[in-house]
């Protein structure tokens, strides 16, 4: 993507300008002089009497219980602070009285007041004297003209009686070139806002808007479709083990290439290859069919007209039902098992369960790889339709054949004593079964890819077309996409090794 163009430069410049403006607003709010501000807030208003009028009950001891007039007593903590950008002097208070501020507690009578201040502001206490107007009468508290530097504060703990919690508390007074105002409610240790709510809202909205604008424009996917992107229809048949990869790759290709339609119809490697050969022969005069056949392993030698593309190295696995109790088998034991010479898992160190061989049909590439790479021979004859009961008593073990990898995995997970095989990534997702090692080698794509394992049950995944497809055909484009383009990431995501990576080229040679 060519991101350094005029449109994106303007977008980035706008974002930077917006961020700079937001930062400037924050700096202005915090550093540039503005009107003097004296804020106050009620940090506590609690009942310490019986609070009978509100229906709440508490427990009291000592003075709160014994002192007359304390039946409806309340405690109020009032915080007064300089939350502006300038200091406030004694002369900045504009009232005609000696004191600077007046606090009125509606419907309550003041019984006592205590003043506190931060440890670094001890000098403030010198101003709280009767000579300077500090005192109270009835429901009115007189607060002296206390000079406050920017950020300074003091607190007034007021003991009251004769009224309910939550009754109005009002602070009045005047500040030259400034204001006295109510601050937001806060916990006792909270600090007042550094800048106004309006400026905070504007800053956040402006920053979010410009950054979002820049992200949308710059990160917008302007990439062109894959090289050689073609329109039309294509059918992919063959391997059921590799079908999840093909489905995801086909969906992504259709998304990247408008006007393309890819149908995935897997029903076995051998069946797919033979169907492609027959279809191509029938259409010999009409050109190659728009079909790609995926096969777990190479095609038969009697089909020279089929052209191959090596796509990936697939790793397969033997799986047993969880109840079997076996984790690893030798190749020799597996041959005995699939010859019917092992009838009970106890013969191999497992639990005493009868052996059930759950296999694929003869069209399965997974089965052919197992026979070629592990057994070195074919499997014994089928002896069961339902995988549970023998169709004839003379059969040494129960063996059935199913049409797909998913069916095999489901049956092995369901049937105690069952063993089957599958593509590794699909096998690890199924519950109720265990993946077996062979001759002490666990099935591991990573170990095989880096040359650390001699695990035998693996094979190259081939894609076949009838002859060489035209360069401008959807079949040619999709195969390039799958083997050398973005399809490689999809292949790796599903637990296979792409053949066109440096490691894959060695394994697929």
Of 438 and 191, the one with more pLDDT: 438
> If we measure between CA atoms, which residue out of 429, 501, 471, 496 comes closest to residue 239?
496
Query: Strand 291-296 vs strand 232-238: parallel, antiparallel, or unpaired?
Result: parallel
pLDDT tens profile 222-271: 544 455 689 999 999 999 889 999 999 999 999 999 999 999 999 889 99
- Going by the DSSP 8-state scheme, the letter that residue 498 receives in this structure is E
**Is the pLDDT assigned to residue 195 strictly greater than 50?**
yes
Average pLDDT over all residues of the chain:
86
* Mean pLDDT for the stretch of residues 355-367: 94
Span 470-502, pLDDT tens digits: 989 999 999 999 988 889 999 999 999 999 999
Q: What is the pLDDT of residues 40-98, one digit of tens each?
A: 999 999 888 765 455 556 666 666 666 776 778 889 999 999 988 889 999 999 988 99
Of the candidates 289, 261, 295, 263, the one whose C-alpha atom is nearest the C-alpha of residue 277 is 289
pTM attached to this predicted model: 0.54
Nearest Cα to Cα of residue 294 among 273, 265, 316 = 273
Phi, psi of 455 (to 5 degrees): -55, 125
- Whether 453 contacts 459, CB under 8 Å: no
d(CA 240, CA 219): 37
């Amino acid at each position: 993507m060519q991101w350094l163009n005029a449109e994106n430069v303007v977008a980035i410049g706008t974002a930077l300008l917006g961020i700079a403006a937001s930062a400037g607003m924050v700096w202005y709010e915090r550093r540039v002089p503005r009107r003097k501000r004296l804020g106050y807030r009620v940090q506590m208003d609690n009942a310490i009497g019986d609070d009978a009028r509100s229906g709440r009950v508490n427990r009291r001891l000592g003075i709160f219980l014994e002192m007359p007039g304390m039946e409806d007593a309340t405690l109020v903590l009032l915080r007064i602070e300089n939350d502006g950008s300038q200091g406030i002097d004694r002369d900045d208070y504009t009232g005609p009285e000696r004191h600077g501020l007046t606090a009125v507690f509606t419907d309550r009578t003041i019984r006592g007041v205590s003043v506190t201040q931060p440890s670094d502001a001890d000098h403030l206490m010198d101003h709280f004297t009767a000579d300077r107007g500090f005192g109270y009468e009835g429901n009115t508290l007189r607060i002296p003209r206390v000079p406050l530097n920017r950020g300074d504060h003091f607190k007034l703990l007021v003991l009251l009686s004769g009224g309910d919690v939550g009754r109005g508390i009002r602070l009045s007074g005047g500040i030259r070139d400034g204001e006295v105002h109510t601050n937001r409610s806060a916990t006792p240790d909270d600090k007042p806002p550094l800048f106004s709510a309006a400026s905070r809202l504007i800053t956040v909205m402006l920053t979010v808007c410009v950054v979002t604008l820049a992200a949308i424009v710059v990160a917008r996917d302007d990439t062109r479709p894959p090289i050689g992107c073609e329109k039309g229809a294509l059918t992919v048949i063959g391997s059921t083990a590799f079908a999840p990869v093909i489905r995801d790759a086909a969906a992504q290709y259709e998304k990247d290439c408008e006007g393309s339609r890819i149908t995935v119809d897997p029903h076995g490697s051998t069946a797919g290859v033979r169907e492609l050969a027959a279809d191509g022969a029938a259409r010999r005069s009409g050109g190659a069919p728009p079909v790609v056949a995926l096969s777990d392993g190479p095609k038969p030698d009697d089909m020279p007209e089929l052209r191959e593309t090596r796509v990936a190295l697939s790793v397969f696995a033997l799986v047993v039902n969880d109840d079997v109790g076996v984790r690893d088998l030798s190749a020799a034991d597996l041959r005995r098992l699939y010859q019917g010479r092992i009838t009970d898992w106890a013969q191999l160190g497992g639990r005493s369960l009868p052996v059930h061989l759950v296999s694929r049909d003869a069209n399965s590439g997974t089965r052919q790889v197992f026979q070629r790479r592990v057994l070195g021979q074919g499997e014994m004859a089928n002896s069961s339709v339902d995988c549970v009961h023998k169709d004839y008593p003379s059969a040494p073990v129960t063996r059935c054949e199913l049409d797909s990898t998913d069916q095999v995995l489901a049956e092995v997970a369901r049937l105690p004593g069952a063993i089957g095989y599958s593509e590794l990534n699909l096998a690890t997702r199924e519950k109720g079964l265990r993946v077996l090692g062979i001759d002490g080698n666990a099935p591991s794509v990573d170990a095989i890819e880096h040359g650390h394992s001699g695990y035998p049950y693996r094979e190259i995944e081939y894609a076949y077309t009838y002859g060489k497809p035209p360069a401008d055909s959807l079949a040619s484009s999709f195969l390039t996409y799958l083997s050398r383009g973005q399809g490689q990431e999809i292949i790796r995501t599903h637990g296979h090794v792409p053949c066109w990576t440096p490691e894959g080229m060695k394994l697929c040679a």
